[in-house]
Homo-oligomer: A and B are copies of this chain.
Amino acid sequence: MGDEVKTPLYAEIFEVLRDEIAAGIFPVGDLLPSEASLCKRFDVSRFTVREALRRLQAAGMVSRVQGAGSRVLRDTPSGVFVQKYRSMSDLTQFAEETNLEVLGTKNTLLDPDLANRIGGNAGDPWLSIRGVRRMPDGDPLALVESFVPQRFAAIAPDLARGPGPIYAGLAEAAGEPIRDVEQETQAMPAPPQVAQALGLVSGAPCLCILRRYSSQSGTLIASFNWHLGGDRYIHRTRIGLGQPPR
């Protein structure tokens, strides 16, 4: 019964060309066929072909020069980076552009291991929220875990909305401004749980981001744990000025 996701034509063409480039049918350094001939081959309008080529270009696989043609720059999408989400404020945007599917919430006592990881006191009552962030098209992007003290449970719904809105909410709930945000980033093979949630193959690279919000008095207010997978990654935002590098 139906329910199939309809793929745009340009997306199909993009995939065909991407795979053919990967297979070496169009070697790196060579020109792709012209737009006109691709139109004939796929029997579509130039708009559709250009849309596909534009995506190949966005993936860093193809360079397009007026008058010269489209040249193959590399045979795989230039994954890893971040094309879109780069800095902390981008993370806010990330939260706004994606949807959270809440998998569950849990009241727990902070176990020593986690307490150590997020810098809280073991045994304190904390609240845990787990969910999957999806692109508007349903593509899973990240597995997110939020940790806050249970006394902040009232703003739990806001927590689900991401780092932007919660920022003010956290400060308000804590009764003082947020003084510091720390972030640790680590690349690792996707843990089974993450791989399953994000549809990754076992062993696929995944990016783990741990983020801590502290109040003015140094109290830990919240901790977020992101696991990002697939070909969309995020980088660490760091301060580098004023201190000579070693």
Chain A residues at the B interface, C-beta cutoff of 8 Å = 29, 60, 63-65, 68, 71, 73-74, 78-84, 86-93, 96-97, 136, 163-164, 167-168, 171, 177-181, 201-205, 231, 233, 235-242, 244-246
Contacts and interface: CB of A to CB of B under 8 A. Distances in A.
A21 B63 CA distance: 31
Number of copies of this kind of chain in the complex: 2
A237 B240 CA distance: 7
A179 B241 CA distance: 9
Q: Is the interface of A mostly helix, strand, loop or mixed?
A: loop
B231 A167 contact: no
A178 B96 contact: no
A63 B244 contact: no
B29 A68 contact: no
B136 A89 contact: no
CB-CB nearest 4 A-B residue pairs = A88-B240, A65-B203, A63-B203, A81-B83
B83 A245 contact: no
